[in-house]
Amino acid sequence: MASSRSRLSWLSTAFAVLTILSISAPAHALYFYMEGRQPKCFFEELPKDTLVVGNYKAEVYNHQSNTHALDSTLNMLITVEETFDNDHRVMTNRGGHSGRFTFSAADSGQHKICFTADTQAVGGGWLSGNTAAPVKLTLDMAIGETSKIESEDKGKIEDIVQKVKDLNSRLQDIRREQVFQREREAEFRDQSEATNSRVVRWTLIQIAVLIATCAWQLSHLRSFFIKQKLT
């Protein structure tokens, strides 16, 4: 009885150790091989509004060195289609031998993600000489892991935040300048109105003086003519 209990205890301990080792084992990126221009596709069941961010690296097999290496003439065409909606294409991304792609699932369902070796942009390249040259494509995708995506984009986000702060500062400067210009405009308008009122007042005074002068002259001429007739 004691031996069976010790055996069970030993098995449970070994199972716990194996579980811990499996959890603590580092995660490696997925990689697969492609032949020529044959697309390589796989399927993902994605909920609605799920953000998917992927990083890829394509390496061409070199027969002389028997190794895979980067080729600047190699481009990759990445497409994402909704299999539940008559293969409706939601994303087309044409990039170089390495890069990044991002898309968001518009609806829940199965999505087909395909990678195709493409050399149309460079007019030939490695496929023109050897159409069967295998390509090793390393893929690392984050599906719905916003924390990982945010950590990867932390530098870009900080740059954007700094730019937004700079724009806000410029906007505050522009607003202060606008307020200053409005104050100067109001002051100039008040001065203009005061000047116009003084000009109108002086004009009215001049008109009154001219009218009084004309009336006096007429009265003087009338009395003069009357005296001339009497004499």
Average of per-residue pLDDT values in the chain: 77
Q: Provide the pLDDT confidence category of residue 146 given band limits of 50, 70 and 90.
A: low
Q: What CATH topology corresponds to 28-147?
A: Jelly Rolls (2.60.120)
The answer, yes or no, to whether residue 79 has pLDDT greater than 80, is: yes
CA distances from residue 23 to 89, 93, 151 in whole angstroms, order as listed: 36, 34, 22
The answer, yes or no, to whether residue 26 has pLDDT greater than 50, is: no
3-state helix, strand, coil in the chain (%, to 5): 50, 30, 20
Q: Once rounded to an integer, what is the mean pLDDT over residues 7-25?
A: 42
Q: Provide the pLDDT confidence category of residue 142 given band limits of 50, 70 and 90.
A: confident
Contact criterion met (CB below 8 Å) for 95 and 75: yes
| Per-residue confidence (pLDDT) for residue 145, from 0 to 100 | 57
Q: Provide the pLDDT confidence category of residue 151 given band limits of 50, 70 and 90.
A: low
- Going by C-alpha positions, the residue among 56, 37, 32 that lies closest to residue 126 is 37
Contact criterion met (CB below 8 Å) for 137 and 61: no
Higher-pLDDT residue of 86 and 17 is 86
Instruction: Quickly count: other Cβ atoms within 10 Å of residue 71's Cβ.
Output: 21
pTM > 0.85: yes or no: no
Contact criterion met (CB below 8 Å) for 78 and 115: yes
Hey, what are 22's tokens?
Answer: 């499996």
Higher-pLDDT residue of 229 and 23 is 229
Contact criterion met (CB below 8 Å) for 62 and 135: no
Q: Provide the pLDDT confidence category of residue 7 given band limits of 50, 70 and 90.
A: very low
First CA to last CA distance, the chain = 168
The answer, yes or no, to whether residue 81 has pLDDT greater than 90, is: yes
